[in-house]
């Protein structure tokens, strides 16, 4: 059974907006660090945005000012609002959870991803 499920991906033109959501199944977001990652064909997976258990956020330099990560601990949902999209934002986006923010690579829990395609 999938424990994290992404939704909201699709195709959009340059300058458009997309809102991604991630639903947690069977655990509490309040006990985990949550994040959005993305991977494009031929490229390494990269960190997009992170939100701590306390609600502190960090962003990759390439998306800062355009993307916003947020969560609702009561509903166990995680969102990524993506504005002013660029073709280089095209990728498969994954949400992830970890007990600590520095342990995504070693012991993170991942969703199956949702595709976002931005056309010029």
Q: Considering the chain, what percentage of its residues have pLDDT values greater than 70?
A: 97
Confidence band, pLDDT 50/70/90 cuts, at residue 107: confident
Confidence band, pLDDT 50/70/90 cuts, at residue 2: low
Confidence band, pLDDT 50/70/90 cuts, at residue 27: low
Q: Are 3 and 95 in contact (CB under 8 A)?
A: no
């Amino acid at each position: 059974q999938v424990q994290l499920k992404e939704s909201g991906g699709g195709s959009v033109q340059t300058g458009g907006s997309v809102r991604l959501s991630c639903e947690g199944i069977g655990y509490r977001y309040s006990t985990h660090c949550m994040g959005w990652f993305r991977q494009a064909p031929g490229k390494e997976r990269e960190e997009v945005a992170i939100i701590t258990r306390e609600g502190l956020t960090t962003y990759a330099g390439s998306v800062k000012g355009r993307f916003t990560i947020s969560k609702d601990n009561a509903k166990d949902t995680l969102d990524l609002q993506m504005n002013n999209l660029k073709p280089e934002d095209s990728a498969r986006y994954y949400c992830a959870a970890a007990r600590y923010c520095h342990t995504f690579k070693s012991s993170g829990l991942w969703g199956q991803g949702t595709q976002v395609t931005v056309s010029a």
